[in-house]
Amino acid sequence: MIRYIAVRLINLIPLLLGITLVSFIVIHLSPGDFLAEMRLNPVVSSETIESMRRNFGLDQPMYIQYLKWLRAILRLDFGYSFAYHVPVTWLIGSRLVNTLILNVAALLITWTVAIPIGIYAATRQYSTGDTALSMAAYLGISTPTFFSGLLLLLFAFKTRLLPIGGMTSLDYEFFPWYGKMLDVGHHLVIPAVVLGFLGSAGLMRQMRGNLLEILRQDYIRTARAKGLAERPVIYKHAVRNAINPLITIFGFEIGGLLSGAAIIEIVTGWPGVGRLIFEAITQKDLYVVMGSLLIGSVTLVLGNLIADILLAVVDPRIRYD
The model's confidence at residue 320, banded by pLDDT at 50, 70 and 90, is: low
- The CATH T-level fold of domain 88-314 is MetI-like fold (1.10.3720)
Domain ranges, ordered by start, for the chain: 88-314
What's the pTM value of the predicted model, to 2 decimals? 0.82
CA distance 133 to 121: 7
Q: Do residues 203 and 146 lie in contact, with contact meaning Cβ atoms separated by under 8 Å? A: no
The pLDDT tens digits of the residues spanning 290-305 come to 888 888 888 888 887 8
Instruction: Provide the residue count of the chain.
Output: 321
Q: Judge contact between 197 and 190, C-beta under 8 A.
A: no
Distances (CA, A) of 150 to 67, 107, 156, 167, 214: 43, 21, 10, 16, 39
pLDDT in tens, 168-183: 888 888 889 889 899 9
Residue 260's pLDDT is what? 59
Q: What is the pLDDT of residues 52-102, one digit of tens each?
A: 778 777 778 888 888 888 888 888 888 888 888 889 989 988 888 898 899
Question: Mean pLDDT, to the nearest integer, of 46-57?
Answer: 79
DSSP 80: B
